[in-house]
Amino acid sequence: MNNRQIWLTLITLALFAVVPPLAAIFDQPFYVDMLARVLILALAAVSLDFILGYGGMVSFGHAAYMGIGAYTVGIFSFYGIDNGFIQFPLAMAASALVGLIFGAMSLRTSGVYFIMITLAFAQMLYFLGISLEEFGGDDGMTAARSEFAGLVDLNDSSQFYYLVLACLALVLFILHRLVRSRFGMVIRASRTNEKRMQAMGFHTYRYKLAGFTIAASICGLSGALFANLNEFVSPDIMHWTRSGEIMIMVIMGGMGTLIGPVLGAAGFLLLEEYLPQWMEIFMTNAGEHWAIIMGPILIAIVLFGRGGIHALFARKWFPRRSGARNGGGKGHG
């Protein structure tokens, strides 16, 4: 959209890029894995933001596609195929296919019905996962790290981290182009006024479905990476609370800004990690009730920080230019 966003994106990615060397210097390898987790969920959040922030499609079942991606890796691993060059493309293709099918049905509805039907589809997959005794049922199953022979060694946490970061950077670049293309204009305008788009001659359903499928595919990539991070896959990855968390990341970070959800994912996961510890300082055993503080923080961000963390930064650093062109705005399904 403008330079402000591009700079914020580059600075954010650069900061993430220096994490592994810093962690090595201070001998805190734990941070590499923790931030890899942030980046993987950021990828899911960015994909949701593409359809939610730009397309106005309030999908409340986005974790389903993470699940498809993760289970693809898990199932291949189960049968002894660890080749990432096979696993990852198929994880994305499978997520895209499921997204296409779910989207084709969900996008016939709108508003609250759309939210509910996407949620229902995701829960359906969640219970399907539980019923798969072969793959561990609700206990899940272990998954070996994928092998990218000659490219990266995922057993090295630094290399794994950079692969995740590269995926995120690539996806951000692709979506940056996408939202400005003819296709992107249709998606964005359909959020604002779908009736008008149809009157002008756009078959909005087709474009929204294509967008929905693209988002599902990216989210599938995030799931494949998540399975690798945990070396474990279980139905929990598809639980509706995760769909909610991904949506919170998008809203916290700033809808319709691409880099916003990355900041949102970082903010959400770091609070989730450290809030309990901070609370312990004030009161013993207070940490387990961290949600008591987390809740009001989220409400405050939604009520007072319209545009999320992204808008906060934008206002601070580029006070005069923050504004009209790309606010999150009202979404409708």
Partner 1 sequence: MVDPVLRIHGLCKSFGNLIATDDLHLDIAQGEIHAIIGPNGAGKTTLIAQLSGALRPDKGQVSFAGRDITHLSAPDRSALGLARSFQITSIFPDFTALDNVALAVQAHAGHSFRFWRPAHEDPALRQPAQQILERIGLGARADEPAANLSHGEQRQLEIAMALATGPSLLLLDEPMAGMGRDESVQMVALLQSLKGRLTIVLIEHDMDAVFALADRITVLVYGRAIATGRPEEIRANKAVRAAYLGTEAADA
Residues that bind partner 1 (CB under 8 A): 177-178, 180-186, 188-189, 192-193, 195-204, 207, 210, 324-327, 329
Indicate the residue among 202 and 318 with the shorter CB distance to partner 1.
Answer: 202
Residue found under tokens 């405050």: 300
User: What are the phi and psi torsion angles at 62 (to 5°)?
Assistant: -70, -25
Task: Tell me how far, at minimum, the Cβ of 46 lies from partner 1, in Å.
Answer: 16
Task: Tell me how far, at minimum, the Cβ of 172 lies from partner 1, in Å.
Answer: 15
Task: Tell me how far, at minimum, the Cβ of 326 lies from partner 1, in Å.
Answer: 7
Task: Tell me how far, at minimum, the Cβ of 2 lies from partner 1, in Å.
Answer: 12
Task: Tell me how far, at minimum, the Cβ of 257 lies from partner 1, in Å.
Answer: 13
What lies within 8 Å, CB to CB, of 167 at 6+ separation is 43, 221, 225
Residue found under tokens 């389903």: 64
Task: Tell me how far, at minimum, the Cβ of 99 lies from partner 1, in Å.
Answer: 16
Task: Tell me how far, at minimum, the Cβ of 62 lies from partner 1, in Å.
Answer: 21
Provide the terminal-to-terminal Cα distance of the chain, rounded to the nearest Å.
Answer: 24
Indicate the residue among 55 and 129 with the shorter CB distance to partner 1.
Answer: 55
Task: Tell me how far, at minimum, the Cβ of 329 lies from partner 1, in Å.
Answer: 7
> Do 69 and 92 contact (CB within 8 A), yes or no?
yes
| 115 token code pair | 């939210």
Q: How far is residue 51's CA from residue 166's CA, in Å, rounded to a whole number?
A: 22
Q: Which of 318, 46, 51, 59 is nearest to 172 (CA)?
A: 46
> Do 251 and 48 contact (CB within 8 A), yes or no?
no
CA contacts within 13 A on the Cβ side of 137: 2
> Do 309 and 8 contact (CB within 8 A), yes or no?
no
Task: Tell me how far, at minimum, the Cβ of 9 lies from partner 1, in Å.
Answer: 17
> Do 117 and 215 contact (CB within 8 A), yes or no?
no
Q: How far is residue 126's CA from residue 122's CA, in Å, rounded to a whole number?
A: 6
Q: Which string of b and e fits 297-329 if b means at least 16 CB within 10 Å?
A: ebeebeeebebbbbbbbbeeebeeebeeebbbe
- Classify burial at 285, counting beta carbons within 10 Å of its beta carbon; exposed 0-12, middle 13-18, buried 19 or more: exposed
Q: How far is residue 307's CA from residue 253's CA, in Å, rounded to a whole number?
A: 7
